[in-house]
């Protein structure tokens, strides 16, 4: 049985006294981590929760978040990780849509969640002296350390991961134990990760990237260092990597730039790191070559995937090697490029990317229509990416999912931002696009058209976005324009709007 709980149990038997997790000055061995996960599982069940119930997780990177993932798996419960950068409306929507029975949150977020009083049981980690009955740490410490004995099948759901909605509302990708363990085993086998390695989880653990990264590390018996700061600071990342002699990690290109700088300036030991993974945005040849030169013993891999897919393709970068491709299908993954009528296209022909394999999500939670539209009868799934495959089997992406924007590794869907802008009475049309940014990969730009007889106050719109949207989703600039390019159905054509904006802001 491939379940999350069994993965941890197995590692605890093989490596009981080996460090499993390191967070700042805290070190948990596999034996202690397994015991703490058992205690937390008992604590969840002591609150009257039943297998299959959903538990919201509003926690920063740390031991509690890692323990919660494994505890929920052992108790047969379903975790709903929530983005810490979301505004209250975004958080409450996910809690409602997932029909969450309980919320586990960091104590610093108590004021944000005050409006949930009486609606949903909320417990706080980190010591909650204001109300001992809501102090999760004390409750968990009182529980037995043996396995709770809940029968969990590998097909049982483990997490619901919310992806920003292309139609304005996030969708919950329901993922099983099996699909997530398979992702870990696939990456371990293809990247050569072993129990002798030290991984570094930098990205937020409410994201699938870090969720899978921690699972990967602990399933194979490696040591996983969790980035101990709530804000990203290059100097802190370099210090942690030097201190723990990190051998592998997952980065976004923004972080890789700072890594290349550190190697060139002699601020990092280049001999420890041997596997670098990157995703979310393509590498350019300059950054690729700087990394390969700065870390001559390391392999640099691009990984393409999504919350719905898991890891789909991988490619190892070489000096003067292929650029632009996201690689070959991972073990067990089938990739097809289909036309609008769902027939396979010839190599080199652009179509919609479909994937079939053991790491796919089960369904979109409470959205059977979206599930039907995304899966074919043969079990292939699409998230809307467009691309083509070569005769050799390399996958190239030519357009990203439904105009998605990636800001420093965070996915932003224009419709969600546009809906906020359009809620203002003075706005008749809105187009939100991503434009290149040297540090973040992209930045969000908004163009709006005023209603006839109205005047748009840009500062008012910016304030509206601050209230309704997480910071990474907010437009870097909001510009009032006389018109926007429209298609035959009077919908804004974002691609043309983006071209229009770039043309007007490019200096010759």
pLDDT at residue 403 is higher than 90:
no
Question: What pLDDT is recorded for position 287?
Answer: 87
Question: What pLDDT is recorded for position 507?
Answer: 58
- Let me know if residue 376 belongs to a domain: no
- Quote the CA–CA distance of 444 and 204 in Å, as a whole number: 21
Which among 204, 231, 258 is the end of a domain? 231
- Let me know if residue 322 belongs to a domain: no
- Per-residue pLDDT, averaged over 112-137, amounts to 92
- Per-residue pLDDT, averaged over 481-506, amounts to 83
Rg, Å, the chain Cα set:
23
Residue 482 belongs to domain spanning: 404-505
Q: What are phi and psi of 497, to 5 degrees?
A: -65, -40
Alpha carbon of 483 to those of 418, 426, 459: distances in Å? 15, 14, 20
Q: How many domains does the chain have?
A: 2
Q: Which neighbouring-strand residues pair with 396? A: 325, 388
Question: What pLDDT is recorded for position 366?
Answer: 96
**Tens digit of each residue's pLDDT (9 = 90 or more) over 50-86:** 999 999 999 999 999 999 999 999 999 999 999 998 9
Which among 231, 246, 271 is the end of a domain? 231
Question: What pLDDT is recorded for position 402?
Answer: 66
- Whether the CB-CB separation of 15 and 31 falls below 8 Å is answered with no
* pLDDT range class, residue 160, cuts 50, 70, 90: very high
- Let me know if residue 334 belongs to a domain: no
Question: What pLDDT is recorded for position 508?
Answer: 44
> Measuring CA to CA, which residue among 178, 441, 422 is closest to residue 284?
441
User: For residue 390, what is the enclosing H or E element?
Assistant: none
Q: Quick check: helix, strand or coil at residue 450?
A: strand
- In 171-302, where does DSSP find H-type helix? 177-191, 208-220, 234-244, 253-264, 285-294
- Let me know if residue 242 belongs to a domain: no
- Let me know if residue 184 belongs to a domain: yes
Instruction: Indicate the average pLDDT of the chain.
Output: 93
Which among 214, 231, 248 is the end of a domain? 231
- Per-residue pLDDT, averaged over 20-29, amounts to 97
pLDDT at residue 252 is higher than 90:
no
Residue with tokens 């990739």: 335
What angle (nearest 5°) sits at the alpha carbon of residue 231, between those of residues 230 and 232?
A: 125
Percent of the chain at pLDDT exceeding 90: 79
pLDDT at residue 148 is higher than 50:
yes
């Amino acid at each position: 049985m491939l379940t999350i709980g069994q993965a941890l149990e197995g590692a605890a038997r093989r490596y009981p006294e080996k460090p499993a997790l390191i967070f700042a000055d805290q070190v948990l061995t596999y034996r202690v981590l397994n015991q703490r996960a058992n205690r937390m599982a008992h604590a969840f069940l002591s609150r009257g929760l039943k297998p299959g119930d959903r538990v919201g997780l509003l926690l920063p990177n740390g031991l509690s978040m890692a323990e919660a993932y494994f505890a929920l798996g052992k108790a047969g419960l379903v975790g709903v990780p929530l983005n810490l950068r979301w505004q209250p409306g975004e958080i409450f929507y996910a809690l409602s849509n997932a029909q969450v029975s309980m919320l586990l949150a960091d104590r610093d977020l108590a004021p944000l969640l005050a409006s949930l009083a009486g609606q949903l049981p909320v417990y706080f980690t980190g010591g909650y002296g204001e109300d001992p009955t809501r102090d999760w740490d004390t409750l968990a410490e009182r529980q037995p350390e043996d396995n709770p004995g809940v029968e969990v099948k590998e097909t049982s759901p483990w997490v619901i991961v919310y992806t920003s909605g292309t139609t304005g509302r996030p969708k919950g990708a329901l993922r099983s134990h099996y699909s997530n363990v398979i992702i870990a085993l696939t990456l371990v086998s293809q990247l050569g990760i072993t129990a002798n390695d030290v991984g570094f989880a930098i990205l937020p653990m409410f994201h699938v990237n870090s969720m899978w990264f921690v699972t990967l590390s602990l399933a194979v018996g490696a040591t996983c260092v969790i980035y101990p700061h709530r804000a990203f600071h290059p100097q802190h990342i370099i210090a942690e990597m030097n201190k723990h002699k990190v051998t592998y990690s997952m980065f976004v290109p923004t972080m890789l730039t700072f890594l290349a700088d550190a190697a060139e300036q002699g601020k990092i030991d280049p001999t420890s790191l041997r596997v670098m993974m990157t995703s979310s945005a393509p590498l350019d040849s300059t950054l690729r070559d700087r990394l390969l030169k700065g870390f001559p013993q390391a392999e640099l891999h691009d990984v393409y995937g999504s919350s719905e897919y898991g890891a789909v393709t991988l490619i190892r970068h070489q000096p003067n090697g292929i650029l632009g491709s996201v690689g070959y299908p991972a073990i067990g993954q089938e990739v097809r490029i289909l036309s609008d009528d769902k027939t396979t296209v010839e190599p080199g022909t652009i179509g919609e990317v479909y994937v079939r394999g053991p790491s796919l999500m089960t369904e979109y939670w409470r959205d059977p229509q979206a599930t039907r539209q995304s899966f074919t009868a043969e079990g292939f799934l699409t998230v809307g990416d467009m691309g083509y495959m070569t005769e050799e089997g390399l996958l190239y992406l030519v357009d990203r999912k439904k105009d998605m924007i990636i800001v420093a590794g965070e996915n932003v869907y224009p419709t969600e931002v546009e809906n906020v802008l359009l809620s203002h009475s003075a706005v008749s049309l809105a187009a939100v696009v991503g434009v290149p940014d040297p540090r973040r990969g992209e930045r969000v730009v908004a163009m709006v058209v005023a209603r006839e007889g109205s005047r748009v106050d840009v500062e008012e719109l910016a304030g509206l976005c601050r209230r309704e949207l997480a910071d990474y989703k907010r437009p870097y600039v909001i510009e009032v324009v006389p018109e926007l390019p429209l298609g035959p159905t009077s919908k804004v054509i974002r691609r043309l709007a983006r071209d229009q904006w770039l043309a007007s802001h490019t200096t010759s």
